[in-house]
């Protein structure tokens, strides 16, 4: 019975010791990861810290430093993800707003005009949506001048002929 107790005690001692060695190695790895780059001298110092003459106070300080660093990294990752999601939501809302605005412009002009003018206002809205702002402005200015010449009367594309163009 005594022999069985001694064997179990020795087994328990070595299994706990193995767990402590693994926990120490984990902490050393996390410390090196926190530092980024470690010189050979720093590695020797780190091994001596965990060696036979353990400095438990310094080990606890290293553990606190590593945990504080890991918490800061997690907070930064959460903030970065939050910012990415907000930026994505803002882009989606901006896209929806542009779509609603373009629909509003198109429906307003399609109620006023049924022919060529409505089509041209739709083209201008699409140009703005594609980011071709200057081209859209030029088309818009030209269309407004043409409509002023026509006294705000719409015209069908089939009605545009060389005689009308000479009047312009």
Please provide the DSSP assignment of 79-95 as one string. Answer: HHHHHHHHHHHHHHHHH
Find the helix packing angle between 56-112 and 2-35, rounded to 10°: 50
Q: Are 118 and 110 in contact (CB under 8 A)?
A: yes
**Two tokens, residue 107:** 């429906």
Q: Are 34 and 72 in contact (CB under 8 A)?
A: no
Q: How confident is the model at residue 103 (pLDDT cuts 50, 70, 90)?
A: low
Q: Are 58 and 49 in contact (CB under 8 A)?
A: yes
Reply yes or no on whether the pLDDT at 79 is more than 90: yes
Which of 18-27, 36-45, 73-82, 159-168 is predicted most confidently? 73-82
Reply yes or no on whether the pLDDT at 15 is more than 60: no
Q: What is the pLDDT of residue 88?
A: 92
Please provide the DSSP assignment of 17-65 as one string. Answer: HHHHHHHHHHHHHHHHHHHS---HHHHHHHHHHTSSS--HHHHHHHHHH
Reply yes or no on whether the pLDDT at 74 is more than 90: yes
Q: What does pTM read for this prediction?
A: 0.48
What gap in Å lies between CA 112 and CA 153, rounded to an integer? Answer: 9
What gap in Å lies between CA 146 and CA 163, rounded to an integer? Answer: 15
Q: What is the pLDDT of residue 69?
A: 92
- CA distance between the termini of the chain: 116
């Amino acid at each position: 019975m005594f022999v069985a107790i001694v064997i179990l005690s020795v087994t328990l001692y070595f299994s706990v010791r193995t767990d402590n060695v693994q926990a120490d190695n984990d902490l050393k790895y996390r410390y090196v990861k926190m530092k980024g780059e470690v010189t050979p001298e720093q590695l020797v110092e780190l091994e001596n810290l965990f060696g036979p003459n353990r400095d438990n106070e310094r080990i606890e300080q290293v553990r606190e430093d590593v945990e504080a660093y890991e918490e800061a990294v997690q907070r930064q990752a959460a903030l970065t993800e939050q910012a990415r999601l907000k930026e994505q939501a803002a882009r989606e809302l901006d896209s929806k707003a542009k779509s609603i605005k373009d629909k509003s412009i198109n429906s307003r002009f399609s109620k006023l005009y049924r022919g060529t003018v409505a089509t041209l206002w739709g083209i201008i809205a699409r140009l703005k949506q594609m980011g071709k702002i200057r081209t859209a402005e030029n088309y818009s200015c030209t269309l407004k001048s043409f409509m002023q010449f026509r006294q705000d009367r719409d015209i069908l594309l089939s009605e545009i002929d060389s005689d009308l163009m000479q009047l312009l």
